[in-house]
Chains A and B, each alone.
Chain A
């Protein structure tokens, strides 16, 4: 028997066995990748949240800048107005105080007639004012037996310091006129003070 030698089919491997070793990472590295991936996800989430807050803060900052500019202008105007008001108020108080302090003998002129009796006759009337002091002097022709008001009641807003009779000065007497026999001249000197 002619035996034919059997030939095995030839298998041609088109992808030859690599000559070099395949890349094989250590097994623990896959857990590391997993952890890093999770961290990256959480981080991105948190970053997104912070970004929203940051954007809102930015909007608030823009608004605050605008409001601050307007308010600064308004404050400057209000300060000016306040300064004007203070000046006006101070001047007003100074004027009113000065107006009140100015001595005017009006109340005294209304008051002096009560010092003169019915049978008396007033001649010279002098009112002198200096600061808060007032000197009033009244020359009267009166009957010898008559009395001038001793301690008169002072006018409103005045305090009586002293009051008394004095001898009249020459220039206080009526010129070329003498009192009759039953009369005499006397001067009533009064010192007053404004409180």
Chain B
């Protein structure tokens, strides 16, 4: 008699524990599974927000640069101009028949990038030629320029010696 009563109460307590487990299970699942996962997802969302801010900053920084296509084009032309500034190009430019010069001579100083051109030309031709030369070869550095009246035609022609440094 006493044994059966004990069994009945034990069954009731087991039932209560089972129901209590069922009640607590969602909370345990929420705190141990869902919350860590939610925290992980919040970090992903936060990372997304940071990336968007970074992108926005980059776009602002890019917009600060103006006329970049034109500047790139100018850079290419500058680079090309430097590459094309050679002794042959300079000789061809000065002594190509366009300018009425004579006694043209080129001297390259050893171990330097310096070249000396000497020639006889009328005053006006010399001025025009120098202007065209500097406009064409924009990175040509003029070291010295010596002008003397030509002994044969002192009032018309000038003996000019032009020393230039080729760009690196």
Listed in ascending order, the chain A residues whose CB lies under 8 Å from chain B are 20-21, 23-25, 29, 32-33, 36, 39-40, 43-44, 46-47, 50, 54, 57-58, 60-61, 64-65, 67-68, 71-72, 74-75, 78-79, 81-82, 85, 88-89, 91-92, 95, 98-99, 102-106, 109, 123-130, 172, 174-176
Contacts and interface: CB of A to CB of B under 8 A. Distances in A.
Nearest to B158: A125
A28 to B, nearest CB: 11
B147 interface: yes
A102 B140 contact: yes
B36 interface: no
Interface in B65-97: 65, 68, 71-72, 74-75, 78-79
5 contacts: A71-B52, A82-B61, A102-B141, A124-B148, A126-B147
A92 B75 contact: yes
A58 B20 CA distance: 30
A61 B40 CA distance: 9
Nearest to B53: A71
A111 to B, nearest CB: 13
B113 interface: no
B78 A47 contact: no
